[in-house]
């Protein structure tokens, strides 16, 4: 733990990080630490159990809820999405990555629930470097803090896919579509689904899509790392940036599948630890072991490798590293398949995910290990996460 703290202090001193909170659970021994400040100007101390926007760490929670409902026969992995969302029945795809919107053809196959979880369904993100992503931005998909999930997914149904479902791995808004399907099949809100099946059993009492008035003082401000100036700055709202996606703290009717949840380190470590064996603290299973194993095992065929996430602002210079080198993808998580220069020390089978503002979690079932890192920095220096990861696995 001293090594972890020293590395974070190094990043704070260098201006790469204002503060961080982390919990490491090794064989039911919990190490909870916090360091630094929750702001830049006043240098107010960052406290344990602050509230963070966890961005894409929303996705594994929604994916897990989907797998629970599959076990209960609400839906099947091989169901096509038009079975629940009829607006997708006549889905089209672009003829090529540079085609205009009207230069499209009918898809050979409608995406499936499995492909939504795999990110092979053919959708994209507005920050991605392709023509369709620019159209997502032009239509301001997910920019609203007041639109319903249903409204956003209806807008998506009118756009073609980037490619034929199953032919590429491409990180996308597919979990938002999955979240809407969960609402349709249960005739309930996404928040209620998550509360009933995950938050209440795990006592994740501070994880929600909105923040109550008395909790707002614990909500951490988000900053941005400027790699040119090598320092943290206030947010800059340029186009094609995910920061434009609506993320309101005070809309009780708000929900999304790919982002939107607020949480704490203490809450999220409960979810991460549950993923070791699928059980709550009372040893009651939330999913069966076969379902859990399918989620955290690679499901991609060889032709889909390597997997990689880039954006319109990605610069592939001599310092560029693919964070997902050595990883496959299960049903909702990255899964380490082999060690690479970027992942020298990780244990094969380690899995987890991260969030846009530098939140991160990992699970290593072999060593009964889980860990959560909470920060609120967009475009964070990758060495921060790498140091955290390496300190854990080098010292096992």
Question: What one-character-per-residue DSSP string does 363-392 give?
Answer: EEGGGTEEEEEE--EET--HHHHHHHHHHH
Position 373 scores a pLDDT of 98
Residues of the chain with CATH 1.20.58: 69-186
Q: Are the C-beta atoms of 1 and 33 separated by less than 8 Å?
A: yes
pLDDT for 99 equals 84
Report residue 36 as tokens.
Answer: 């630094």
Tell me the HSE value of 390 on the side-chain side, using a 13 A CA sphere: 14
Cis peptide before 306 (omega within 30 of 0): yes
Q: Is 309 exposed, middle or buried (0-12, 13-18, 19+ CB in 10 A)?
A: middle
pLDDT score recorded for residue 97: 85
pLDDT at residue number 240: 85
Segments in the chain below pLDDT 50: none
DSSP 8-state secondary structure symbol assigned to residue 6: H
**What are the pLDDT digits (tens) for 361-388?**
999 999 999 999 999 999 999 999 999 9
Count CB neighbours of 349 within 10 A.
16
Both tokens of 171, joined, read 């990180």
Helices (H), the chain: 2-13, 58-71, 113-118, 131-138, 149-157, 174-186, 190-194, 200-202, 265-277, 289-295, 382-394
Q: What's the pLDDT at 228? A: 87
CATH 3.40.710.10 intervals, the chain? 2-53+206-394
Read off the tokens for 237: 């709202």
Write down the pLDDT at residue 382: 93
CA-CA distance, 54 to 308, in Å (whole number)? 21
- Its CATH class, for the domain covering 69-186, is mainly alpha
Distance of CA 181 to the CA centre of its chain: 18
Q: How high is the pLDDT of residue 241? A: 87
pLDDT in tens, 67-80: 999 999 999 999 99
**Which residue, 225, 221, 171, is CA-closest to 383?**
225
CA distances from 358 to 16, 22, 88, 118, 361 (A): 12, 12, 33, 22, 10
Which DSSP string do the residues of 131-160 spell out, in sequence order?
Answer: HHHHHHHHTTTT--SS--HHHHHHHHHTS-
pLDDT of the residue at 383: 94
Identify any residues that bridge with 24 across adjacent strands, giving them in sequence order: 31, 371
**Predicted local confidence at residue 158, as pLDDT:** 94
Rounded alpha-carbon distances, angstroms, from residue 44 to 18, 19, 36, 37, 47: 10, 10, 8, 5, 9
Secondary structure of residue 285 in the 3-state scheme: strand
- Residue 163 DSSP code: S
CA distances from 172 to 124, 176, 193, 226, 259 (A): 4, 9, 22, 25, 11
Q: Which residues contact 6 (CB under 8 A, 6 or more apart)?
A: none
pLDDT at residue 142, rounded to an integer: 96
- Topology of the domain comprising 2-53+206-394: Beta-lactamase (3.40.710)
Give the SS3 label for residue 186.
helix
Q: How many CA atoms lie within 13 A of 272 on its CB side?
A: 33
Per-state percent for the chain, helix, strand, coil, to nearest 5: 35, 15, 50
This prediction has a pTM of: 0.97
- The torsion region of residue 27 among left (phi > 0), alpha (psi -120 to 50) and beta comes to left
């Amino acid at each position: 733990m001293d090594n972890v703290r020293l590395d974070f202090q190094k990043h704070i001193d260098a201006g790469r990080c204002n503060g961080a909170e982390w919990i490491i659970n090794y064989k039911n021994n919990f190490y909870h630490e916090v360091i630094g400040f929750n702001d830049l100007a006043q240098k107010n101390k960052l406290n344990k159990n602050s509230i963070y926007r966890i961005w894409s760490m929303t996705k594994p929670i929604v994916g897990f809820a989907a797998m629970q409902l599959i076990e209960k026969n609400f839906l099947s992995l091989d169901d096509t999405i038009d079975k629940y969302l009829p607006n997708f029945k006549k889905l089209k795809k672009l003829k090529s990555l540079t085609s205009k919107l009207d230069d499209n053809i009918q898809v050979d196959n409608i995406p499936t629930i499995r492909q939504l979880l795999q990110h092979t369904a053919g959708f994209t993100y507005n920050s991605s470097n392709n023509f369709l992503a620019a159209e997502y931005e032009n239509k301001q998909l997910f920019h609203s803090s007041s639109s319903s999930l249903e409204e956003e997914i209806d807008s998506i149904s009118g756009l073609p896919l980037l490619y034929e479902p199953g032919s590429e791995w491409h990180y996308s808004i597919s979990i938002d579509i999955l979240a809407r399907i969960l609402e349709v099949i249960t005739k309930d809100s996404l928040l209620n689904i998550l509360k009933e099946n995950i938050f209440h059993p795990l006592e994740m009492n501070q994880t929600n899509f909105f923040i109550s008035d008395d909790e707002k003082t614990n909500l951490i401000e988000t900053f941005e790392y400027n790699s040119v100036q090598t320092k943290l700055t206030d947010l800059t709202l340029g186009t094609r940036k995910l920061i434009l996606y609506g993320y309101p703290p005070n809309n009780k009717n708000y929900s999304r599948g790919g982002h939107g949840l607020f949480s704490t380190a203490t809450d999220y470590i409960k979810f991460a630890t549950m993923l070791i064996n699928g059980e709550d603290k009372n040893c009651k299973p939330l999913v069966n072991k076969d379902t859990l194993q399918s989620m955290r095992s690679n499901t991609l065929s060889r032709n889909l490798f390597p997997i990689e996430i880039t954006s319109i602002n990605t610069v592939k210079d001599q310092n560029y590293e693919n964070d997902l080198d050595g990883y496959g993808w299960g049903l909702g998580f990255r899964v380490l398949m082999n060690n690479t220069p970027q992942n020298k020390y990780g244990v094969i089978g380690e899995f987890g995910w991260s969030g846009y503002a530098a939140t991160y979690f990992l699970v290593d079932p072999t060593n009964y290990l889980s860990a959560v890192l909470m920060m609120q920095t967009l475009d964070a220096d990758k060495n921060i996460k790498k140091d955290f990861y390496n300190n854990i696995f080098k010292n096992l």
